[in-house]
Amino acid sequence: MDIKILGPGCPKCKTLEKLTREVVEQSGIEATVSKVEDIVAIMNYGVMSTPALVVNEKVVMKGRVPSADELRKLLVN
């Protein structure tokens, strides 16, 4: 699984990255987690509000930081 956190580096973006890494580790999900901070690259996903979560090149959440449980459900399904 390829997971990307889209965001310019704001506090919410950093929180989502930290939470995603924790959930992946705790759930035993095999995934690579990367951070995309380039505005042009973020806009190429059609994202106008950050942070955003991209799983296998599909935007699954944007504009907010989900709870750990909500994030776990997004990643497991």
Domain ranges for the chain, please list them: 2-69
Going residue by residue through the chain, which has 77 residues, state the pLDDT in tens, using 9 for 90 and above.
999 999 998 999 999 999 999 999 999 999 999 999 999 999 999 999 999 999 999 999 999 999 999 999 999 87
pLDDT of residue 71: 95
Query: What's this model's pTM, rounded to 2 decimal places?
Result: 0.92
- Three-class DSSP labels, the chain: CEEEEECCCCHHHHHHHHHHHHHHHHHCCCCEEEEECCHHHHHHCCCCCCCEEEECCEEEEECCCCCHHHHHHHHHC
What CATH topology corresponds to 2-69? Glutaredoxin (3.40.30)
Q: Which residues are marked as active site?
A: 10, 13
Q: 41-73 burial, b if ≥16 CB within 10 A, otherwise e?
A: ebeebebeebbbbbbeeeeebbeebbeeeebbe
pLDDT of residue 76: 87
